[in-house]
Chain A
């Protein structure tokens, strides 16, 4: 047992090295995307000159901008246009693609070398779970970092939430939104939901393939923006739908999905043949 834990530790260290030495470019691109989005946000807010004269844009305003989402849709008529919350979808999709696809890519390229050295499959699979949780957190912290730096450059207080931005830019009544609500839908739920979606993507990518798993998850996210349901996890990461979906249910569903797909994925992976990339492509 002691030996197996040692192997697991080494496998985890290997995956962490991959993040630092191999995936850092993806993190840099993600930071640039966030800077770009926040510049767009500034431009949007600049349209409301009165707002900036008061408090300016603060840390939480940036997070709300990313995770604002979209109001619950009622039945669309043929005259209505469905517009996707672009920033929200972009951030989710980027992290999903960057993190959730890694285990299958790694498995296809170097997997057998590590599995044979580790001598078992559970060690590799658990390590990939750790990888997903760590990398999602790193991506999330880079959003926070860019928001924090922007807020400091603006000279705004970190705790301050600009009620005028909430009202005029996002259409949210600030008096009804508590700090708890904001933390839930911009910090806790995005972390839990993105981890759950990445684990799901990892599972589907092994059962089918990477391309199909990405398409399924992106379609699922898009549907989340359209329909408001507690089973569509994207709803929990939208500040505008805080009142529409119960927080506790969101936590339970996200954790449940993470655990179920992680275990189910392991069972599938354990009996799966490693027939090699060339043969997989032939089939």
Chain B
């Protein structure tokens, strides 16, 4: 997968939320986007997955123009804002309902990814509304990665997670990266991004202020 963003600008409600973004993103790399609240991180993620259309500029996925040749990227897993699960269903049932849309994975794969993000087997069948904040976040991450998509977009993925869970998520994302996924993580926590990302993009007022590569560990 290769993403090419060219002069991307987005205006919402008269306000420029993204300004003249130019980026080339390639597979097998974890990109970290750092920025304060309102800096445009989430909007950039939404643009890349086709949820919002550019006011100016283009986003190309593998050479295909998003919004014209493609409505959404073919293979994408996303966690943006609240995961938005059905509160009266169990964590497992929520993932199963999502997985049934594509029909690519079954029970074994779903349970496997739930374990990988750190959810206990006892929690699989518990109703989502009984989940703690951390468990909800883990389920959101599981939903984004369970189908092993080519593009993974995560907005503040380690929010509400304890250290052990953060380590599990990091291990899971590194595995996905090795598989060849292009991963983009937005966070306001630079330390977390430094640890996770190969390349860090710093955003401010809708612009990419700087871009630098991290030393690999």
The reply to whether the CB of A11 lies closer than 8 angstroms to some CB of chain B is: yes
Instruction: Name which residue of chain A comes closest to B151, CB basis.
Output: A116
With A109-B84, A110-B86, A121-B71 as given contacts, are A14 and B101 in contact (CB-CB < 8 Å)? yes
A114 to B85, alpha carbons, bound, how many Å? 11
A278 to B17, alpha carbons, bound, how many Å? 14
The reply to whether the CB of B181 lies closer than 8 angstroms to some CB of chain A is: no
Contact between B52 and A116, CB atoms less than 8 A apart = no
The reply to whether the CB of A49 lies closer than 8 angstroms to some CB of chain B is: no
Rounded to whole Å, the gap between the CB of A277 and the closest CB of chain B is 7
Scan residues 10-54 of chain B and give those whose CB is less than 8 A from a CB of chain A: 12-13, 42-43, 46, 49-53
- Residues of the A chain whose Cβ atoms lie less than 8 Å from the Cβ of B147: 117
Instruction: State which of B74-82, B116-124, B130-138 sits at the interface with chain A.
Output: B74-82
- Residues of the A chain whose Cβ atoms lie less than 8 Å from the Cβ of B73: 116
Contact between A119 and B72, CB atoms less than 8 A apart = yes
A279 to B84, alpha carbons, bound, how many Å? 16
With A14-B97, A274-B52 as given contacts, are A113 and B143 in contact (CB-CB < 8 Å)? yes
- Residues of the B chain whose Cβ atoms lie less than 8 Å from the Cβ of A117: 98, 101-102, 147
- Residues of the B chain whose Cβ atoms lie less than 8 Å from the Cβ of A109: 82, 84
Contact between A13 and B71, CB atoms less than 8 A apart = no
A111 to B73, alpha carbons, bound, how many Å? 16
The reply to whether the CB of B100 lies closer than 8 angstroms to some CB of chain A is: yes
Chain A residues within 8 Å of chain B by Cβ, number: 34
Interface of A is mostly: helix
Tally of A-B Cβ pairs under 8 angstroms: 84
A277 to B83, alpha carbons, bound, how many Å? 12
With A116-B76, A121-B71 as given contacts, are A277 and B101 in contact (CB-CB < 8 Å)? no
Chain B positions 88 through 104: 1 when the CB is less than 8 Å from some CB of chain A, otherwise 0: 11000000011011110
Contact between B81 and A22, CB atoms less than 8 A apart = no
- Residues of the A chain whose Cβ atoms lie less than 8 Å from the Cβ of B49: 112, 116
- Residues of the A chain whose Cβ atoms lie less than 8 Å from the Cβ of B83: 113
- Residues of the A chain whose Cβ atoms lie less than 8 Å from the Cβ of B52: 273-275
Rounded to whole Å, the gap between the CB of B203 and the closest CB of chain A is 16
Chain A positions 108 through 137: 1 when the CB is less than 8 Å from some CB of chain B, otherwise 0: 111111111111110000000000000000
Contact between B86 and A276, CB atoms less than 8 A apart = no
Which of A7, A11, A274 is close to B51, meaning CB atoms less than 8 Å apart?
Answer: A274
B residues apposed to A, CB below 8 Å: 12-13, 42-43, 46, 49-53, 71-74, 76, 78, 80-86, 88-89, 97-98, 100-103, 143, 147
Further pairs besides A21-B89, A112-B51, A115-B51: 17, Cβ < 8 Å: A7-B101, A21-B88, A22-B89, A109-B84, A110-B84, A112-B80, A116-B76, A117-B98, A117-B101, A119-B74, A120-B71, A273-B46, A273-B52, A274-B52, A275-B52, A276-B46, A277-B82
